[in-house]
Chain A
Amino acid sequence: MLKGTAASDGIGIGKVLVIEEVSLDYTPHTVEDKDAEVARFKAAVDAFIVETQAQAEALKASAGAKEADIMLGHISMVQDPALFGETEKLIQGGQCAEQAFESMCDMFIMVFSQAADDFMRQRAADVRDVKTGVLAQLLGVHEVKISDAPADTILLVKELTPSMTAGINKDNIVGIITETGGKTSHSAILARALEIPAVLSVENAAALMKTGDLVIADGSRGEVIQNPTEAELQDYTAQRETFLRNKRELEQFRGKETRDADGTAYELVCNIGKPEDAGKVLAGDGEGVGLFRTEFLFMDRTALPTEDEQFEAYKKAALALKGKPLIIRTLDIGGDKEIPYMGLAKEENPFMGFRAIRYCLKNRNLFRTQLRAILRASAFGDVKIMFPLITCMEEFREARALVEEIKNELRLTTGIPFNENIDVGVMVETSAAAVIADLLAKEAAFFSIGTNDLTGYTMAADRGNADVAYLYSVLQPGVLRLIKRTIEEGRKAGIPVGMCGEAAANPHLIPLLISFGLTEFSVGAPSVLNVRKCIARWTKEEADKVAEHAMSLDNEAEIAAYLESVI
């Protein structure tokens, strides 16, 4: 078995087709008729543009507009005055078109591959693609036609380029194996857009397999099985069936409301970290945003973001969601996250230190700026405010009083529109907040349980510390009791209670959450359909039975085993 990177889910079983890179060898020579050579170069670029445009059209149909944009970007590159113009100068200096263009491309490939930024490094792959394409035109060689591949083909390429992807017929290509590329590479993004299982970065793949070999490409685990046995073939065929069946089943939940088997409705929303992610929420069929982390606005920069800059970011997310709820969590920053310009001191114990709401209440100007920006954005959608790391009433009251103060300012001095009745809620992520949920519920408009920190604080265990990570589990009786209490106290007071930690997407926990009375699940966009499906299978009565039994058990191992047995 060969190991690689799991880049696109699913299992492909078929025969290998090795795509050899076409030879782009040439002998550099000096040219006499320089104008004719420039004309030859221009003709090659024109032909490249025509071909790329056709490929972009094909890609748009098979993988979507975003992927096609990558190819249109290649056209901008080849027409760039630096690349095009400098090549022309080199030709006028006597070099042949191949050599002139290649040396210009190589220069940019070198610059881009040394960039500190991952996104810029990816541009090196684009320039390489452009170089190959134009050289092929100049030399009159043509890349292998992937569109002619027979049914049940597993493509084996060094690197999947957008131009190759354009030729892929989804009915015939059942898997992709490459020698390079990580989870965020073009190859991976393209494979996922085409929904073809892909295993990337398999070392020496081309030397180890040849065209015609029977292989299994497991894109979910990142494994390639060469010459599988009859038993392996049966096993993986069955796994593939299950995978495809699950996928089909999940698709049936797209566009549906989130309801349990009794018909009770729930809100199924998403966690995001950037305004651009709001689009992914809708694409993933999320019903809004239950947690918008605002830290991104403060990271990777040298000074605090201005009110306008924050306002634009929040407004952008609110508009993208078209009236669906958007819970914005105020700055959750502290000793463990380095933001040099904020002058946060190193602390002995950052998780119990000066962070989140504590920091914001002491740095009023920064906090006021963020709250003003959020309030202004509330005129553009269903925006709510959530405070992180609340541990006592005073913190919540002080923060909420500040919101009222800013509302007054906006009303009196500026006449800027905002939502007068904006909801202000608490992120319940400390044991203290869960224990005083009865008190908080009287004044908060909503709760959202942050299970990651709640589990860590309650169990006093860092999941990154291998010696104590075994304690870190949301299924610990201590954690479950706090979750139950928070939800029940919220319900008693008649406020909605959501959950925005990873646990909200955990199928084992879902019956318990339904039984306790959770009203909102906030999960990663890719989990939406699965959570909707998990919720749909439980009636309140069945969920109550499971919850009652689980809560009667006195240790995590038994609870986990029991929940595994009932789902």
Chain B
Amino acid sequence: MVSKHFTVPNAQGFHMRPATTFATAMNKYPCTVTIKFNGNDVNGKSLMHIMAACIKVGSEIDVVCDGEGENEALAEAAEMIESGFGE
């Protein structure tokens, strides 16, 4: 299991488009992807779960990947979040 902490930098947070991009990318990996936010576990492969979590700019989150391909998944997640989803 690997994890990393982030402060969401992009103005829109995990809105429709970033959430779709994120979930689509995470679904490529066999491991589980969980976003820990506000004491909740959000399924990082689910666009609907991510949107429902209302993760905004400035939110503190941890991304946890567990299973096959966890390092690659976390690296891609970090790149997307830190680049602000190219916003």
Residues of A participating in the B interface, judged by any CB pair closer than 8 Å:
73, 76-77, 80-83, 108, 111-112, 115-117, 119-120, 123, 127, 296-297, 300-303, 309, 312
A76 to B49, CA, bound (A): 13
A565 to B11, CA, bound (A): 48
Chain A residue nearest in CB terms to B15: A119
Number of A-B contacts (CB under 8 A): 51
Chain A residue nearest in CB terms to B27: A81
Q: Is B48 an interface residue (CB 8 A)?
A: yes
**B43 touching A81 by the CB < 8 A rule?**
yes
Chain B CB within 10 A, most for which of A73, A82, A127, A300: A82
Pairs across A and B, CB under 8 Å, 12 listed: A80-B48, A81-B27, A81-B43, A82-B43, A82-B49, A108-B48, A108-B52, A115-B54, A119-B16, A127-B48, A301-B11, A309-B9
| B26 → A minimal CB distance (Å) | 10
Query: Nearest 7 pairs between A and B by C-beta?
Result: A82-B46, A302-B58, A111-B52, A82-B48, A80-B48, A80-B47, A82-B49
Q: Is B25 an interface residue (CB 8 A)?
A: no
Interface string of B14-26 (1 = CB under 8 A from A): 0110001001100
A297 to B10, CA, bound (A): 10
Chain B residue nearest in CB terms to A85: B46
A76 to B58, CA, bound (A): 26
Interface string of B39-66 (1 = CB under 8 A from A): 0000101111101101011100000000
Partner of A303, one of B20, B23, B51, B58: B58
- Secondary structure at the A interface, as helix, strand, loop or mixed, is helix
Assess A73 versus B23: contact at CB under 8 Å? Given A81-B45, A82-B49, A83-B48: no
A312 to B83, CA, bound (A): 11
| A172 → B minimal CB distance (Å) | 32
Assess A77 versus B47: contact at CB under 8 Å? Given A108-B52, A112-B52, A119-B15: yes
Assess A123 versus B46: contact at CB under 8 Å? Given A112-B52, A116-B54: no
A117 to B59, CA, bound (A): 15
CB-CB under 8 A from B23, the residues of chain A are: 80
**B20 touching A301 by the CB < 8 A rule?**
no
A300 to B10, CA, bound (A): 12
Chain B CB within 10 A, most for which of A81, A296, A300, A302: A81
| A87 → B minimal CB distance (Å) | 12
A82 to B56, CA, bound (A): 21
**A76 touching B46 by the CB < 8 A rule?**
no
Q: How large is the interface on B (under 10, 10 to 19, 20 to 34, 35 or more residues)?
A: 20 to 34
Assess A77 versus B48: contact at CB under 8 Å? Given A82-B43, A119-B15: yes
Assess A117 versus B57: contact at CB under 8 Å? Given A73-B20, A81-B45: no
CB-CB under 8 A from B87, the residues of chain A are: 312
CB-CB under 8 A from B48, the residues of chain A are: 77, 80, 82-83, 108, 127
CB-CB under 8 A from B20, the residues of chain A are: 73, 76
| A125 → B minimal CB distance (Å) | 13
| A255 → B minimal CB distance (Å) | 30
| A360 → B minimal CB distance (Å) | 21
CB-CB under 8 A from A81, the residues of chain B are: 27, 43, 45-46
| B27 → A minimal CB distance (Å) | 7
Chain B residue nearest in CB terms to A305: B11
**B58 touching A301 by the CB < 8 A rule?**
yes
CB-CB under 8 A from B56, the residues of chain A are: 300
A428 to B25, CA, bound (A): 49
CB-CB under 8 A from B84, the residues of chain A are: 309, 312
**A123 touching B16 by the CB < 8 A rule?**
yes
| A278 → B minimal CB distance (Å) | 14
**A76 touching B47 by the CB < 8 A rule?**
yes
CB-CB under 8 A from B45, the residues of chain A are: 81
Chain B residue nearest in CB terms to A83: B48
A474 to B5, CA, bound (A): 53
CB-CB under 8 A from A309, the residues of chain B are: 9, 84
CB-CB under 8 A from A76, the residues of chain B are: 20, 24, 47
CB-CB under 8 A from A80, the residues of chain B are: 23, 46-48
CB-CB under 8 A from A77, the residues of chain B are: 47-48
CB-CB under 8 A from B24, the residues of chain A are: 76
A301 to B8, CA, bound (A): 11
| B45 → A minimal CB distance (Å) | 5
**A123 touching B54 by the CB < 8 A rule?**
no
**B57 touching A123 by the CB < 8 A rule?**
no
A303 to B9, CA, bound (A): 11
A77 to B11, CA, bound (A): 23
A265 to B16, CA, bound (A): 43
A312 to B53, CA, bound (A): 27
CB-CB under 8 A from A82, the residues of chain B are: 43, 46-49
Chain A residue nearest in CB terms to B52: A111
| B9 → A minimal CB distance (Å) | 7
| A84 → B minimal CB distance (Å) | 9
CB-CB under 8 A from B51, the residues of chain A are: 112, 120, 123
Besides A73-B16, A81-B27, 4 new A-B residue pairs in contact (Cβ under 8 A), listed by A number: A73-B20, A112-B52, A300-B56, A300-B57
Within 8 A of A (CB), among B63-87: 84, 87
Chain A CB within 10 A, most for which of B9, B16, B56: B16
CB-CB under 8 A from B58, the residues of chain A are: 301-303
A112 to B53, CA, bound (A): 9
A162 to B65, CA, bound (A): 36
